[in-house]
Amino acid sequence: GQNIDQPTEMTATEGAIVQINCTYQTSGFNGLFWYQQHAGEAPTFLSYNVLDGLEEKGRFSSFLSRSKGYSYLLLKELQMKDSASYLCAVRDHDYKLSFGAGTTVTVRA
Amino acid sequence: IAGITQAPTSQILAAGRRMTLRCTQDMRHNAMYWYRQDLGLGLRLIHYSNTAGTTGKGEVPDGYSVSRANTDDFPLTLASAVPSQTSVYFCASSRTSGSGTDTQYFGPGTRLTVL
């Protein structure tokens, strides 16, 4: 099975940067995903990492260190619409996704 | 393109009743999944199907059953609902069962309350 930990809540100011950490312990690893979920809506895909390093997509970046079982999602130039839950998910040796409980980010003006 | 649709949007159900949650995708994805999402626990996999005609158990399968008669539909059945099955249920699909950057796309969810 998987053990995936991420902070429960984070608060930041509009225009700032926030980093959401995710640590995992797995029985196999075939990639790490980040999803965004607005309240009352479905999760939507943000990023995917399978090799060590940084993947950048506009204002969002995701980093992976497989040896440390660690990833982070970096949100830059925060906007009010970025207020949401961010879910870290690990794909295991059986190609199934296991999700962390999610980090609720609140962006304040 | 609708993507993934789920029905009903929400439902209040008496304990002991049978209930089927419907999920349909029009992306011709091979793999489909059912998750439940509970506060503080995140998304947990109930059942999955890697391709039409096959199904498998996820992390929390007890009390639920699924079938995959064709590519598009993946219904989830609660044979005899209990209050602990109160949750938000998400159906998801992916092109394959998980190669490379293949990601899962989620339906809008069904909010189920069992009294």
- Beta strands in A1-109, from DSSP E residues, in sequence order: 3-5, 9-13, 18-25, 32-37, 44-49, 53-57, 60-65, 70-75, 84-91, 97-99, 103-108
Task: Retrieve residue A104's tokens.
Answer: 């609720």
Q: Please report the number of interchain residue pairs, chain A to chain B, with beta-carbon separation below 8 angstroms.
A: 49
Residues 52-81 of A with CB under 8 A from B: none
Could you report the per-residue pLDDT of A16-43, keeping only the tens digit for each? 999 999 999 988 899 999 999 999 999 9
CB contact under 8 A, B45 and A44: no
Q: CB-based contacts of A28: which residues, under 8 Å, 6+ apart?
A: A92, A93, A94
pLDDT, residue A71, reads: 98
pLDDT tier for residue A105 given thresholds of 50, 70 and 90: very high
Residue A11 in this model has a pLDDT that exceeds 80:
yes
Q: How confident is the model at residue A91 (pLDDT cuts 50, 70, 90)?
A: very high
Using an 8 Å CB-CB cutoff, list chain B residues near A87: 42-43
What is the C-alpha to C-alpha distance for residues A92 and B62, in angstroms, rounded to an integer?
22
Per-residue model confidence (pLDDT) at position B40: 84
Give the confidence band of B1 by pLDDT, cuts at 50, 70, 90: low
Q: Residue A50 pLDDT more than 80?
A: yes
Side-chain half-sphere exposure of A16, counting CA atoms within 13 A:
13
Mean of all residue pLDDT scores within chain A: 94
For B101, the closest chain A residue by CA position comes to A48
Shortest alpha-carbon distance between residue A93 and chain B (Å) = 10
Tokens of A49: 């990492």
Instruction: Determine contact, residues B32/B22, Cβ cutoff 8 Å.
Output: no
